[in-house]
Amino acid sequence: MDHAADEHEASRLQKAVETIAITPEAATKLVDAYRATFETKFKREPEGLEDKRRISAKIIGRYSKLSAASGAVTAAPSVIPGVGTAFAVLGGGVTDIAMALKLQVDMCMCLVEVYETELSSEDKKHLAFVLALAGSAEQLASKGGKAAVQKIAEKLVYQYLRGPALVTIKQLFKRVSITFTQKAMAKAIPAGVGVAFSSSTNYVLTRVVGRVAVAVLAKDVK
């Protein structure tokens, strides 16, 4: 695929994901529901880092399961809202990538809400996109063991966050798009439709992206 085609594909992917990803406001409502459940269970409001980690674990668990469903059935619209829109914007092929990224962005939007409640909506959105895309790109490109890869990804995501947000997001969409395509061409992705991940791969990737995001947001990156 030449440079112009890469740019076009990445641009289409970015447009689709931005169209179907949840808003920071929707993420706030979801996280408020998790906070309410926490209060009911523990008879107090969530306060410290440990409480935030408990809520984060629930969020990561939810989106990992949704991601597995999306890989298993190429996402029925009733299961994951936005699938129909993704098909309308992209057609077949890249829709699987868009859905995987949408769920990772949604998850990161919720995680940002847990840790960075004071940010503006626009800043929350940019932060969520960088966390999701950078975490995913690093995991896909890596060939090492999971624990080592996660540490490398955490440091690289932290570096990405220091760049200009909109430029960084555009570059990351291009990187993810090319990496997905190369892996599909090399048959490095488990059996699925087109460049779709299998449900188990989607599940693992989403969990790791979530853990990387939490490490960065909780300032655990060494």
| pTM to 2 decimal places | 0.84
Residue 85's pLDDT is what?
Answer: 55
86-110 confidence digits (pLDDT tens): 555 555 555 677 888 899 999 999 9
- Number of CB atoms found within 10 A of residue 173's CB: 26
159 versus 124: the higher-pLDDT residue is 124
Q: What is the residue extent of each domain of the chain?
A: 2-218
Averaged pLDDT for residues 178-199: 54
What is the average pLDDT value for the chain, to the nearest integer? 81
Residues 6+ apart with CB under 8 A from 24: 109, 112, 113, 121, 124, 125, 128
Averaged pLDDT for residues 32-49: 95
Q: Does the pLDDT of residue 7 top 70, yes or no?
A: yes
Q: Which of 14-18, 78-82, 85-89, 142-146 has the highest mean pLDDT?
A: 14-18
Q: Does the pLDDT of residue 163 top 80, yes or no?
A: yes
Q: Let me know: does 135 contact 209? Beta carbons within 8 Å.
A: yes
The pLDDT confidence band at residue 219, using thresholds 50, 70 and 90, is confident
108-158 confidence digits (pLDDT tens): 999 999 999 999 999 999 999 999 999 888 777 766 566 777 888 888 888
From the list 220, 222, 210, the residue with the least C-alpha distance to 61 is 210
Residue 73's pLDDT is what?
Answer: 47
